[in-house]
Each structure stands twice: as C-alpha cells, then as structure tokens.
C-alpha cells in the first residue's frame, strides 16, 4: 500500500444559496448565515413546503458567451460550469500546460428539471375523456412533443450533459464518468476520482457535483415522501440538524467542484495544495428504499472502510462534517454510527452539519462539504451547526452549535448517505 500515488486537492469552486463562489459561501458558513428562503422559482404558495435554498441572482450569460449550446443549459448545468470555472482558475490550471489526455472528470451531476410549462401543456393537449376517467393519447403526445419541444432543452435533463459541457469547455480528454447516487453522488464521484488517480489512469481529475431539484415535480416528489421540512414560517430556521425539533431537510441547489491532482504532478507545477484525500469508504445499505438501516449498518461500514483506507484510528479524526440532513432518522442513525465507530471519542470530536445553513444540495452536497473541510484546515475554523437550540437525547454529540469555532485541525471526515442506501465516507488531511 505504501507506494500508492498520493492525491491532493489543488482547486475548489462552488455556487450555493450562500453565494456564487467559494469565498462568499465560506464567509456565510463562518458567520452562521442561512441561505434558505421562500421559493421564488415558481409559485409554491400552496405546496406543503414553500421554502428552499435557491441560488439567487445568478447570471449565467457571461459563461455562455460565444457558446450557442450553453444557451440551453439547465440550472444544474449552469451551476456545474460556473463552479468548474472557478475551480479551474483557482487551481492555476486554466491556461497552464498539462496533458489533456491525463485530465479526466468524475462528476455527480443530477438530472435536469423538465421543461415544465411545455410538458404541462402537452399533457393537457393529449388527454382524452372527462375528469379522471380519461387517459393520455400517446400519439397526440408524441406528435405535439415533436413540434413544440426544443431538443437541446430536452437533452439538458440527462445527467451526462453537465460533465459533457465541462469537458468541452476546458478540453479535457481523460476518463469521464457521472454517477447519480442521490445525496451521495458528489462524494462518491470524488472517492472514485481519487481511485482513478491512485491507479494511474489520470493525473488530474475534476470532480464534484451539481443539482437543482427546486422545480414543481421535485418539491412535490420530496413532499410526497414527507422528507422535506414544512417549517415555512421561519425559512432560515427550518434546517436544524440534530435538534429535537427537526422535521425534514430543506431542498437546495448549487454545485461544488474540486480539482484532484496526483501529488508529484501538483508539486512539479508549484500548485497551491488545500489538503490531501487519504480515505474513501463506500457501501450499500441493502435495507429499504426510503429508510436507512436502523442500526446504521451501511454507514458504520463506510466510515470503517474510509478509516482503514486512510490507515487511521478513529481517534485521529479531528472533525466530522456530518451528512446531517435534519431528517429525524438520518441524524439519529448517523449519531449512532459515529458513536459505534468512535467509541468514547465520539463525545469529544466536533461534528457539524453545514446543511443547517445551506440546506441539502442533493447530488452536489458532498462536494461542497468536502470544500468546507479543506477551508477549515486553511483558516483554522470549524463551521457550525446552526439552529441548534433543543437537544435531542438521541443526538448527544458536540455538534459545534450555532457559532463557528476556532480550532487547528489536521484531519476531517465527511459523510454522505444517499436515498436508496449508498453510503460514502471521505477523509481529508491537512497537507504539510
């Protein structure tokens, strides 16, 4: 194991409900600000959930200039391109010299929302019969769809478009993947990108994720699953991971991108190094579609595998960036899993969920969370869990309540658990 290629992070980019770049997002996180507000992308006033973490006032036009097809880019593609652009600039690779064949992408882009207005009009046009007694006449649907839908808008719903845009924009010719494993997607992408560099299939990988499900079908879909918070009266307070009053997650949108680079490659070009990725664990719950395993079977195993991969004991972890969705079950089971693996040390290690401020970026969540871990190294600050007011007896760890904390940490663990049972744990270490 000793001769494995080492993987460091040399560039970061983000666009979130707290800002259009890493700096504004990080500032918001350190100042305990919430990015959650009333939904403005459509009229959600009658929906059970009327709040979300929207990316506000984002102008994509400069990124699309001179690129005809980017004019059709869906929100998740737009976010992906913006965050990738920031990460590329930040890494110093933009305009620099590198072999395109050795630079790949492992992304965790979600699906794009549908062309809602056109889709609704199509369904109404194709309906035959009265009230609920009729049905869609497929032939009417197809004929009309072929007339009124825009091909490129339709294609934007495919999750593969975002990494495709990024590859084209930056002329990356390396291996390219996109995984869509719900809330674990971008963490899984980063873990697999790290494996690709370790085994030598590439020297640089652009990884992370992007997603926007703040559309009528997305909100309704999660509402039907009763997964979303309905504390509409105080949006900024709605996401309260580990707090007794938590009642679901807050749906958010955005993107996080990291540039992973083989250590010697990074050193040779004198790159700035944010940290080293040293551990990756991946498991399946194989339990139920909607519930995590009640004893955290898959989560525990993922954490253990990541520690083993890093060659670390649990006591060496200085900070846990929790999945911490603010759903009743997740936060209890995650606490249980941390206690199971960390033993007595669980009560000592700071654990925080930045979803308390950002909401849940779904496929993009893990990437933004790993960025927060890297910035915690840089600035000696642990971002807080805000809205932590009423402790839950089942969640009895140090959640870094409400205010960021000064601390010099050297290793951080980030958990991501997906709907359907994908469990991912990543471990990063300060690079010295």
Partner 1 sequence: MKKRRVVITGLGAISPAGLSLDDFWFAAREGRPSARPIESYPVKSFPVKIACEIKGFEARNFVPASQRKALKVMARDIQLAVAASKCAVDDSGLDVASIDRSRMGVTIGAALINNELNELGICIRNSNEASGAFSMKKFGTDGMGSLFPLWLLKYLPNMPACHISIIYDLQGPNNSITTACASGLEAVGEASRIIERDSSDRMLSGGTDSKTNPIALSRFYLMNALSLRNVPPEEAYVPFDGRRDGFVAGEGAAIVILENLDHALERKAKIYGEIAGFGSSTSFNYDHKDCKDSRGMALAMKRALDDADCEAASIDYIEAHGAGTKAGDKLEAAAIKEVFGAQAGRVPVTTFKPVTGYLSAASGPFGVVEACLAIKAGEIPPIAGFKERDPDCDLNCVSGKAQKAAIKNVLVNAFGLGGQNASLIVRRFE
Q: Which residues are catalytic?
A: 183, 323, 360
Min dist. Cβ of residue 410 to partner 1 (A): 26
Q: Contact 230/247 with Cβ under 8 angstroms?
A: yes
Min dist. Cβ of residue 170 to partner 1 (A): 10
Min dist. Cβ of residue 60 to partner 1 (A): 17
Residues 251, 49: Cα–Cα separation, whole Å: 9
Min dist. Cβ of residue 68 to partner 1 (A): 8
Kindly tell me which of 165 and 355 has the beta carbon lying closer to partner 1: 165
Residues 215, 392: Cα–Cα separation, whole Å: 32
Closest to 426 (Cα-Cα) out of 200, 182, 198, 189:
189
Kindly tell me which of 46 and 57 has the beta carbon lying closer to partner 1: 46
Min dist. Cβ of residue 378 to partner 1 (A): 30
Kindly tell me which of 19 and 279 has the beta carbon lying closer to partner 1: 279
276-304 CB burial, b ≥16 within 10 A, e <16 = bbbbbbbbebeeeeeebbeebbbbbbbbb
Kindly tell me which of 87 and 376 has the beta carbon lying closer to partner 1: 87
Kindly tell me which of 127 and 345 has the beta carbon lying closer to partner 1: 127
CA distances from 250 to 40, 104, 254 (A): 15, 32, 13
Q: Contact 327/335 with Cβ under 8 angstroms?
A: no
Other Cβ atoms within 10 Å of 56 Cβ, number: 12
Ordered DSSP codes for 216-246: HHHHHHHHHTT-B---TT-HHHH--TTBTT-
Min dist. Cβ of residue 393 to partner 1 (A): 29
Kindly tell me which of 171 and 268 has the beta carbon lying closer to partner 1: 171
- Burial, 153: exposed, middle or buried (Cβ in 10 Å; 0-12, 13-18, 19+)? middle
Closest to 371 (Cα-Cα) out of 336, 321, 334:
321
Q: Contact 370/360 with Cβ under 8 angstroms?
A: no
Residues 66, 213: Cα–Cα separation, whole Å: 28
Kindly tell me which of 27 and 38 has the beta carbon lying closer to partner 1: 38
Closest to 406 (Cα-Cα) out of 335, 348, 344, 350:
350
Closest to 427 (Cα-Cα) out of 347, 311, 346:
311
Min dist. Cβ of residue 195 to partner 1 (A): 6
Residues 149, 354: Cα–Cα separation, whole Å: 39
């Amino acid at each position: 194991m000793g001769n494995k290629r080492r993987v460091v992070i040399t560039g970061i980019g983000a666009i979130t409900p707290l800002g259009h770049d890493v700096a504004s997002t990080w500032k918001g996180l350190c100042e305990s600000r919430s990015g959650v507000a009333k939904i403005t992308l459509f009229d959600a006033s009658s929906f059970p959930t009327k709040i979300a973490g929207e990316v506000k006032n984002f102008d994509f036009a400069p990124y699309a200039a001179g690129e005809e097809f980017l004019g059709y880019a869906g929100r998740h593609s737009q976010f992906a391109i913006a965050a990738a652009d920031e990460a590329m600039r930040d890494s110093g690779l933009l305009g620099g010299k590198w072999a395109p064949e050795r630079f790949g992408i492992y992304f965790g882009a979600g699906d794009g929302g549908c062309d809602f207005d056109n889709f609704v009009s199509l369904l109404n046009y194709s309906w035959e019969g009265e009230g609920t007694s009729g049905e869609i006449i497929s032939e009417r649907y197809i004929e009309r769809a072929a007339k009124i839908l825009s091909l490129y808008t339709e294609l934007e719903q495919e999750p593969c478009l975002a990494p495709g845009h990024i590859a084209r924009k930056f002329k990356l010719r390396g291996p390219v993947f996109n995984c869509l494993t719900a809330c674990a997607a971008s963490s899984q992408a980063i873990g697999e990108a790290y494996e690709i560099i370790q085994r030598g299939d590439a020297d640089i990988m652009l990884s992370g994720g992007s997603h926007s499900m703040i559309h009528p079908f997305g909100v309704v879909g999660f509402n039907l699953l009763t997964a979303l918070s309905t504390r509409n009266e105080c949006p900024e307070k709605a996401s309260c991971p580990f707090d007794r009053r938590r009642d679901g997650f807050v749906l958010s949108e955005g993107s996080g991108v990291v540039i992973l680079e083989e250590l010697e490659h990074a050193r040779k070009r004198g790159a700035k190094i944010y940290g080293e990725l040293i551990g990756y664990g991946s498991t399946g719950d194989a339990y139920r579609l909607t519930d995590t395993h009640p004893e955290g079977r898959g989560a525990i195993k993922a954490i253990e595998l990541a520690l083993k991969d890093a060659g670390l004991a649990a006591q060496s972890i200085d900070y846990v960036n929790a999945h911490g969705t603010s759903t009743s079950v997740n936060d209890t089971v995650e606490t249980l899993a941390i206690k199971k693996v960390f033993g007595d040390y669980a009560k000592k290690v700071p654990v925080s969920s930045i979803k308390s401020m950002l909401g849940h970026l779904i496929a993009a969540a893990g990437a933004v969370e790993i960025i927060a871990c890297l910035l915690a190294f840089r600035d000696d600050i642990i971002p807080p869990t805000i809205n932590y007011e009423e402790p839950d007896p089942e969640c009895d760890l140090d959640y870094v309540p409400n205010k960021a904390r000064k601390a010099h940490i050297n290793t951080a663990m980030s958990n991501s658990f997906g709907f359907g049972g994908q469990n991912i744990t990543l471990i990063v270490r300060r690079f010295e």
